[in-house]
Structure 1
């Protein structure tokens, strides 16, 4: 009995092994789950849109008469799915990648400086580099990596490096970074981990995520309008068709409410330069614990926040310094009529 084996199980395992060899993404349970969610989301989009063209004859006739109307709708449909996969495949901005980039930039700068010194000495002149202003720094900075030195300047003097170091990655975290347990990496300006996208939302892809929500909301509203138009024109002709459309319309309405709330929420945190994690866990984050809730420490004004969020982030690795006490006092002052005229909120 101990040597008994099940041929069916062996055949199943061999088939599963061949599938994993052909598709390496299927070997990881997390990737299989993420891939299943992506396939389910695409199928939902196809079902909601496909039912319209299968049942609504007037939409087909309208397409023949006004082709640009249906072309715009299908363009939005394709753009929404493209934005979904584009956002899902983008990097949120990992701390380890920023650390490698900072160390590589420092090593290249050192090599360039050494090369310039050698060429200058050959020409008969000598360049002497004097490191001024370093006497007030702790001795531990001399043995620190370029990334550690860069991060140390972002925190108040006298802070401990241990309080900034991630216990999972053993990497020094800049402000607003957090370790994601799903991705098992530290993310710059961590917002949240999106299950439907299968990736974190952070500094690198938050703008793309906002645009995806906007496109998804617009597509949902347009599809709902087409469903309502179909029910007005074809109600009580075929009860089973009406039942399918009403069921899909009810599901679409629930999704629309969720999308609108999500869009409004992320628009709010963009305007105030916050993240979901900072807003929800504000009292547990050390650098936000003593700041009043109505004060947004990283906000630079509505217009500047929008510009930095949409346009100014050409580099994936941008880290922000913690605001000083004076800056927090200025931001905590109530707005006056003069401040509104001076566009202080912008």
Structure 2
């Protein structure tokens, strides 16, 4: 037994040196989930290619139909890996970039492009996605604290500052950010931690996540239609083929319902400019606790919300809390004149 154990340890250490990600239990779990997802997709496609002769025949009669299906199949898998490998946007990276930019500004005479007023503060920071060391929290942290405090409503006290400081990362969190215990990092516009993707969903990858849900839902729906057409065909088949297809179709129906509900839910979040965390834990978030539940404090209108979500994700955007006047305006009911003037957009 000792000899076998020694050989197993030797092989394990060799694999860990070749593939460092396997040395981490979390990395092995994420890799297992990704392989299982790929296998599940290939299994559903393989059943069609092996048993459905009509689908295979369409390669010659309707190549565009099969080509579109295979294109959606590849696009859904590619979007899954793109989303899982995209950084959700970490507060630590944003803090590092702010401090580096502040150092450069102090060393040159170029005027800063960031507004100094705490009202209507729109801060855009370019993030390269790399993970910086925690030593930046001890250097030049005053500029980051001043910047973040300007994003909150005026009149903040030192006790509020302690409430906004992450007890794990020891950095001041901007609005809409939260510490993820699975990633052990604070995430900008934290939505949730997706176990299927093995990463957080935040400002940097929420748009990719929505597109993945859209493509995966379309793929499941199309695959279900192909499976139902296969069952309705008059070609004689063995009973075990019917059993396999029925079981896979039942499982696919569950996946489709779950994905469709998730897609609808995240579409609602997009048009109202909310996150899952803000919607579920609104009463526990200090700066949202006293705002009316029917008011979406960060919403800028449906059209601008969708535009910012889809087209304005190349930089990190630190969104300020709305003023009391803006909240009062958002709480005002819509009228016919508001609709004609596109207030909702």
TM-score (norm 1): 0.89
In the alignment, what sits opposite 2:218? Answer: 218
8 Å contact from structure 2 (residues 117, 150) kept in 1: no
Contact persistence 1:189–1:202 (CA under 8 A): yes
Q: Is 1:91–1:204's contact at 8 Å kept on the other side of the alignment?
A: yes
Report the RMSD for the aligned CA atoms in angstroms.
1.8
Rounded Cα–Cα distance in structure 1 between residues aligned with 2:251 and 2:117: 63
2:50 corresponds to = 54
**1:153 paired residue among 126, 146, 150:** 150
Q: Distance in 2 between matches of 1:148 and 1:314?
A: 24
For 1:319-338, what per-residue CA distance to the aligned partner results, in whole angstroms no more than 9, with x for missing partners? 11001111111111111111
Any runs of at least 4 consecutive aligned residues in structure 1 with deviations exceeding 2 A, and if so which? 234-237
**Which of residues 36, 39, 52 in structure 2 aligns to 1:40?**
36
Write the deviation string for residues 41-60 of structure 1: whole angstroms up to 9, x where unpaired: 00000001110010001111
Give the equivalent residue in structure 1 for 2:267: 267
For 1:344 and 1:101, locate their aligned partners in 2 and report how far apart those are by CA, in whole Å.
35
1:31 matched to 2:27? The reply is yes
Q: Judge conservation of contact 1:178–1:187 (CA < 8 Å) in 2.
A: yes
Match of 2:94 among 92, 98, 101: 98
- Does the Cα contact within 8 Å between 2:90 and 2:185 map onto a contact in 1? yes
Report the count of equivalent residues: 317
Q: CA deviation at 1:144?
A: 5.4
Per-residue CA deviations over 1:239-298 (Å, capped at 9, x if unaligned) read 111111000000000000000000000000000000000000000000110111111000
Larger radius of gyration: 1
For 2:332, the equivalent position in structure 1 comes to 333
Contact 1:179 1:185 in 2 (8 A): yes
Shift of 1:342: 1.4
Instruction: Compute the displacement of 1:133 (Å).
Output: 9.3
C-alpha offsets along residues 125-154 of structure 1, whole Å, 9 cap, x if unaligned? xxxxxxx999xxxxxxxx852211111111
| 1:65-90 per-position Cα deviation (integer Å, ceiling 9, x unaligned) | 11111111111101111100000000
Q: CA deviation at 1:93?
A: 0.3
Aligned to 1:12: 8
Name the SS of the counterpart of 2:295 in structure 1: coil
C-alpha displacement at 1:156, in angstroms?
2.1
Gaps (5+ residues) in structure 2? 119-139
> 1:237: how far off?
2.8
Could you say which residue in structure 2 is the equivalent of 1:207?
A: 207
Give the 3-state SS of the residue equivalent to 1:189 in structure 2.
Answer: coil
Q: Which has the higher contact order (CA 8 A, sep 6+)?
A: 2
After superposition, the C-alpha distances for 1:82-128 in whole angstroms (9 at most, x for unaligned) are 10000000000000000011111111122222xx79xxxxxxxxxxx
1:235 Cα deviation after fit:
6.7
